Each structure stands twice: as structure tokens, then as C-alpha cells.
A and B are shown apart, each in its own frame.
Chain A
Amino acid sequence: QQQVKQSPQSLIVQKGGISIINCAYENTAFDYFPWYQQFPGKGPALLIAIRPDVSEKKEGRFTISFNKSAKQFSLHIMDSQPGDSATYFCAASTNSGAGSYQLTFGKGTKLSVIP
């Protein structure tokens, strides 16, 4: 069964602090690991993504750390801001064949950044 396990379910961080969200997977066929950010009343939007041949990817204040041997990856938000308050989903995809794919999402982490 393809699963992506995400933790914590909710997270409260002080402004300026570091937010860390963790995900673990089982299927070694996964070849793409995106993170999506969702604000209330909106659809998810791609935040940052990584491929398994890279151990870390940084875009501004957002960093993905990837540990292939442990089958884990995490999102770090540096200098967290109240505007970062949203629900974050990790995900993983594999090419299921015939040119199609399936993207499996974690259950989400609700981040609240307090002033």
C-alpha cells in the first residue's frame, strides 16, 4: 500500500522560529516529493519539491531535507512568519505506467505562527 505518513498534525511556532514538518514513506518507487501549501478556502499550491537524487533543496526560507536510506523527508521553514500560517501537505509520486501516475498525499499539518 502506498502511504505517506506526515507529522505533526498541528504545529504552533513563534514568529521568527523554525517550523519543521516530517514525512516518511515506504514505496521505494517514489521518484518525486513535493510539498503543497494550502490557505483556508483555497486549493493547495506547490511550495517546493525534491527528487531522490538530491539530499537538500532550498528556496528562500523553505528547505526540504531528504534522507533516501531512511525513507524520510522534511520541510523546514526558517524565520517563520504569521503569513506562513497554513496547512502543509507532503506528497510523493510514482509513475504508475501507461504515462500516468499517482500522487499520494500525507494527511497534512496545520501550522500556526503566532506573533
Chain B
Amino acid sequence: DAGITQSPRHKVTETGTPVTLRCHQTENHRYMYWYRQDPGHGLRLIHYSYGVKDTDKGEVSDGYSVSRSKTEDFLLTLESATSSQTSVYFCAISQTGRLASTGELFFGEGSRLTVL
């Protein structure tokens, strides 16, 4: 298994509170991603990073921010959680940004967030 650790794995919080999810990798991969998975929507990209302090928005970035101060850590922050952000969040890593040349995106095991 790829060395990806997500924390926390489960969290229940209340509307309006800040939440930070952490993704830690031991593979020294340059690219890191945050996806959310919801029934009927599949996997949707929130934000991604192509290097330390280099990040960009994905398809569903509203209400989320990210930071990457070290190669191995990519943080996802919900500044003020809402019920619509109840989801399973997956971190993923890849060696390069062009998957056709490397063939694989590695996923963590997910963080289940419930916002009441």
C-alpha cells in the first residue's frame, strides 16, 4: 500500500466550526489531491497541490482551503463547516502530474466527516 495516512479517520462536528483534515505521505510524491466522495456524485476534486506552497482549485473548491508547507503534508480546511460538507474525503498522491506517463493515482483510506 502507498504510504498515505489521513487523519482523523472519522469526525463529527457542528455547523459553523472549523475543521482541518490532514494527509501525510511517505512516498515523496510531488502531487497531492483532495477529493470528496458522495453518493450519486462519485469522486470530485476539491483542491490539488503540485509542490510545496503550490496549490490550485478543483471542481468543488468553494468553502475549502488547503495548505502545503512540506512535501509530505497536505491540509484541507473547512473554515466554517456546513451540513453540505458532510462527506467522505480522500487524499491522493501521484508521482507526476501527467498520469498517462506514470499510470497511477494512489488514494488514502478516507476521512468520514459528519457536520450536524
Contact = CB atoms under 8 A, between A and B. Distances in A.
Query: Is chain B a partner of chain A in the same complex?
Result: yes
Interface of A: 6, 31-32, 34, 41-46, 49, 51, 89, 93, 95, 98-108
Contacts of B59: 102, 104
Contacts of A100: 31, 48, 50, 56, 97
Contact of B107 (A6, A45, A49, A102): A45
Contacts of A34: 99, 103-105
A107 B41 CA distance: 5
Given A100-B50, A100-B97, A102-B59, 19 more contacts: A31-B100, A34-B104, A41-B110, A42-B109, A43-B90, A43-B109, A43-B110, A46-B104, A49-B103, A89-B43, A93-B99, A95-B97, A98-B50, A99-B50, A99-B97, A101-B99, A102-B45, A103-B105, A107-B42
A43 B100 contact: no
Contacts of B58: 102
Interface string B40-83: 11111100101000001011000000000000000000000000
Nearest to A106: B42
Interface of B: 4, 31, 40-45, 48, 50, 56, 58-59, 90, 92, 96-100, 103-105, 107-110
A62 B58 CA distance: 30
